[in-house]
């Protein structure tokens, strides 16, 4: 089961409006997150690092179907991995 670890070179800041930003300290690139992205990132930081755990957390927090939760989690993790913000560990 793959686990996704936040890259230690990434700094996360949450804004009052529920949005947030990720800053990769090495590349100086930053990424804005909507409320769902913030929620998933905070779950990663809390130790929920498998797709299954993240989907379960999303289902508990939002009114969304299992399929939609899986789609959102997989798409978000894929984007984070491509940008070097998380590392996938098998």
Domain boundaries defined on the chain: 3-84
Predicted TM-score (pTM) of the model is 0.94
Architecture of domain 3-84: Alpha-Beta Complex (3.90)
Per-residue pLDDT, 17: 86
| Beta bridge mates, 31 | 22
Round to whole Å and give the CA distance between 65 and 46: 23
Per-residue pLDDT, 32: 97
Its sign, for the CA torsion 73, 78, 81, 83, is negative
pLDDT tens across 31-88, in order?
999 999 999 999 999 999 999 999 999 999 999 999 999 999 999 999 999 999 999 9
Q: Which residues contact 35 (CB under 8 A, 6 or more apart)?
A: 18, 19
- Is the pLDDT reported for residue 15 higher than 90? yes
Per-residue pLDDT, 55: 98
Its sign, for the CA torsion 26, 27, 28, 31, is negative
């Amino acid at each position: 089961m793959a686990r996704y670890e936040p890259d230690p070179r990434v700094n996360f800041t949450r804004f009052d409006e529920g949005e947030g930003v990720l800053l990769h300290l090495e590349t100086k690139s930053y990424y804005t997150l909507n409320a769902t992205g913030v929620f998933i990132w905070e779950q990663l930081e809390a130790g929920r690092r498998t797709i299954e755990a993240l989907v379960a957390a999303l289902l508990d927090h939002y009114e969304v179907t299992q399929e939609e939760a899986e789609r959102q989690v997989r798409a978000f993790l894929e984007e984070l991995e491509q940008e070097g913000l998380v590392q996938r560990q098998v």
